[in-house]
Amino acid sequence: MKYLIGVLVILASITDPVTKIAKSNKLKRTAESAYEAEDYKEAVEAYQLLLDSMQVDDDKARLNLANAAYIISYGGDNMGLLSDISSGKTQVQDSSQLSAISGDLRYFDVAEKSYKAVTSSVNNSLASSAHNQLGIISYKMSEQSPDEKESFMQSALGNFKNALLKNPTNEQARYNYELLKKLIKQQQEQQKQEQQQKQDQQQDQQDQEQKQDQQQKQDQKQEQQQDEQQQQQEEQQQQDQQQKNEQEQQQEQQQEEGEQKDDPMEKLMEKLKEMNIPLEKAQMILEAMKNNEVQYVQQKKRKASQRKDSSKPDW
């Protein structure tokens, strides 16, 4: 088959219109046969030779080229490969591996560019199919790109809508449009609920922190009040003890003063001072009085000790 395509490429350089038409028709049949046989890579090569090398303007053939490239890329293992490379799960180790991967990934670009080219076709049915396929591609990309999910989904919805505008009877595009529209609405509601839940959680967290802060302030205030009360009690106890000590001291002083006032010698001493009698003379007087008092007491004791003679008269 590849040998046949190579021969056809050489023949394509012939400028004879009749020969060119004949060869292009043959190449188209080759591409269609490969497509029907599900040999999509062979079909892509044949269609590219037909459309690009021979410059045949055929929107249906270009749509088939896009479909074949789409099946290879988005419909096969290459979609997973693209996802793994984008996420970093698959690492390119050498140039040979890079060349092999690039050869597989090029079909993504072929499919998208070919579909976009067909969207401007004068054949509304073909243009509608191309828009529908672009919508499917955008939706698949939204599943592989979480950060750009919303953007890809809106692009898909727009392509499905354009497909219906081009051909209102395109039931597949209508189904895709209605389904995606419903899905977007559900996701928006889910995002709204998640956002509300997040706000509620944040509010609950703020309320909890505020409650804890208030409780902490209340505990601090209560502790401060307890400290102040304890301090006041200690101060009051100190004042009471001081007052008690002062009262006891005052009582002792009053008692001492009372004892001093009751002492007759002290009273006499005070009177002698009031009479301006010198201190030495006053002390001599007091000493003499004390001696007389002692003699009087002694005499009184002697008289009391003598027995009375009953034979003698009382006088």
Token duo for residue 105: 């990934």
Q: Which residues contact 123 (CB under 8 A, 6 or more apart)?
A: 59, 60
| Cα–Cα dist 157/182, whole Å | 11
Least confident of 47-56, 161-170, 251-260, 289-298: 289-298
Q: Does 89 score more than 70 pLDDT?
A: no
| Stretch 11-28: mean pLDDT | 74
Q: Mean pLDDT lowest for which of 88-92, 135-139, 152-156, 210-214?
A: 88-92
CB 108 within 8 A of CB 80: no
**What is the rounded average pLDDT of the residues 260-267?**
62
Nearest CA to 41 out of 63, 69, 78 is that of: 69
* Cα–Cα distance for residue pair 124/315, rounded to 1 Å: 176
pLDDT digits (tens, 9 = 90+) for 268-280: 667 767 777 777 7
> pLDDT > 70: what percent of the chain?
74
Write down the residue that tokens 């046989």 correspond to: 37
Domain boundaries, the chain: 1-87+97-118, 124-193, 263-292
User: Nearest-CA neighbor of 44 among 62, 58, 23, 57?
Assistant: 62
At 34 the pLDDT is: 96
- Give the span between the Cα atoms of 217 and 219, in whole angstroms: 5
User: If we measure between CA atoms, which residue out of 104, 127, 103 comes closest to residue 114?
Assistant: 127
φ, ψ dihedrals at 119, nearest 5° = -65, -20
Q: Which has more pLDDT, 61 or 15?
A: 61
pTM exceeds 0.75: no
More confident residue, 5 or 162: 162
Provide mean pLDDT across the span 81-88.
53
Name the nearest CA neighbour of 149 among 106, 190, 201, 108: 190
